[in-house]
Structures are given as structure tokens and as C-alpha cells.
Amino acid sequence: MTYHRSVLLEESISLLGIKPGGIYVDATYGGGGHSREILAQLGEGKLVAFDQDEEALDNRIDDPRLVMVNANFRYLRNFLKLHRASPCDGILADLGISSHQIDHAERGFSTRFDGRLDMRMDRKKPLTARTIINEYPEKELVRLFQEYGEIRNARKLAMRIAESRHNRPIESTAELCEIGNSCAERGRENKYLAQLFQALRMEVNQETEVLREFLRQASQVLKPGGRLVVIAYHSLEDKLVKNFIRTGDFEGTLTKDFYGNIIAPLKAINRKVIVPSDEEIAENNRARSAKLRAAEKVA
């Protein structure tokens, strides 16, 4: 299998602050890039790696310190308890889709190939992009295109989809791309389709809901002084991470104690968001929207 180099690899591992005998979590195993670096610095510790995609298991690192969990990281707390890995010293999550998933047409994640409208990271789940495109009410399509895709003419796009599916079901990524191109500004078709596919992928995989569950649990299973490192690629996800680190609340609402101190389970390590260098973006264009934030569990 082909996987690109992990985004912000050195920066994220450095911020994790690995202790040789610690317990760590790679919440998004993918190609194992981050896990390899963690294991290289870990000594006699333990690493628990999550990935809901069964194909990621084929890329498992042969190391007795590694525990692989074929499940969504929304079940973080339960599986860490099961594997006696709680509380832990650090958690890393790279919220981007893996290169392997994008580059395989049959998964339906890419605008570059003609494939089925699938987009499931966990192919045991019933909801697919085809179901959304053909069965969601037009009004609901508008909502997800606006919220998850940040598409300005979401109503026009939803109307075109509704008109097309009235005649026959929309089955393939190529058919959807044709509809999307008819709504895109000339010269910006690729960006428009990327926004459309992103919106569908986020809906299929419940990505914002899952992220909320994960962040709440991460703050609970970390040891005092333990670290959380998250790489986000979408403004909505980055906002959730930023607000939760700053206030312990997804809306960014501050709660203070009697003395005026902010009550939150985490404290930011990097006050300014970390983004990839120009050199990294030149080597891997998929890194261009990445934003890294890190926090420490308050004692």
C-alpha cells in the first residue's frame, strides 16, 4: 500500500514530549508514519493505535509494544481501559484522510477517479455518499454543503442534484463531478469538487460528532501533564479543537472560578497554531490546509 509521509511529523512528535517508558495513543494510525516515530523514541513503553479502516491493519508495524485497535477513536476511553493503557501520557490525532484511501478509486474519496459513491472509512457502516446524494432532502443537502463544504452556492448545487436524481439515481463519482462542475466558477472546478467531496465525507463518517466525543474522552484519559496533539484540515474541526483546548467547551464559552481563573481540563502549549512549511507543502500538497494544536492536561 502507498501512503504519503505524515504531515507535520517532526513538529507533532516533538510536542507529544515522549517519555521512554510512557503510554501513548495514535488515534489515527493510517500508514503508521506517526506511530513509527513514536515507537522509535518510546523505549519500554506502550503504544495503542486506532484505525477504523480494516485495510490499515495490513500496514501494521511488527512491534510487541504496539496494540492495534480496529475501531473508531470515538471509543478511546473504553479501549484504553480494556488494554490497561489508561491513564496515558500522550495522544496524537491526525484528522486528515489517508493517501491510501484517496488513491483507491473504489473507495469513492477522490475526484480524480471514477468510482462508487462510497466514502466510508469504516465499510461496515451502512451510510454511504450514494445514500446522501440520492435520499437526503434538498434542504438537508444545502445544510451540509454550507456547513461542511463551505460552498457558497449550496442551494444551486443541491437543486441540480435533486433535478438529476429525479430522472435516475446518481451512482458514481464521475456523475457527481459532472454536476459539481456545472455549478463551479470557471477555473475553480477542482477546489469546488474538493469542497463537495469533503462535505460528503464528513457527513458519511460523522466526523465533527466523532471529534467532539474524542476530545472529551482525551481530556479524561490523559495523566496530569499528559499531552494532546491534534492536526486538523478543516476550519470547523480546527475551531472545535481550538475552543476545547482554550475553554473546555466547543462553543468557546469561558467558565471561571471564584478567583477569575479559567476552568478547563487542558492548557494550550502552542499559543499560535502551527502550519506546514512551504517546503513540506511543495513535497505534499495535501498538507497545505493542516493546522496543529497541542495542549497539556491540567494537574
For the chain, the domains span 9-99+207-297, 126-204
- The pLDDT-based confidence of 292 (bands split at 50, 70, 90) is very high
- Integer Cα distance of 98 and 42 in angstroms: 24
Compute how many other C-beta atoms are within 10 angstroms of the C-beta atom of residue 162.
16
User: Average pLDDT, stretch 34-59?
Assistant: 93
* Fold of the domain spanning 126-204: DNA polymerase; domain 1 (1.10.150)
* The pLDDT value given to residue 111: 77
- Integer Cα distance of 151 and 157 in angstroms: 9
Mean per-residue pLDDT of the chain: 93
3-class state of residue 98 by DSSP: coil
Whether pLDDT at 106 is above 90:
no
Among 107-111, 137-141, 203-207, 288-292, the range scoring the smallest mean pLDDT is 107-111
Contacts for 14 with CB less than 8 Å, ≥ 6 apart: none
- The pLDDT-based confidence of 2 (bands split at 50, 70, 90) is very low
DSSP state of 262: B
User: Average pLDDT, stretch 147-162?
Assistant: 97
* The pLDDT value given to residue 77: 98
- Parallel, antiparallel, or unpaired: how do β-strands 222-232 and 266-268 relate? unpaired
Q: Alpha helices of 257-297 — where are they, by DSSP H? A: 278-283
Whether pLDDT at 92 is above 80:
yes
Class of domain 9-99+207-297: alpha beta
* The pLDDT value given to residue 251: 92
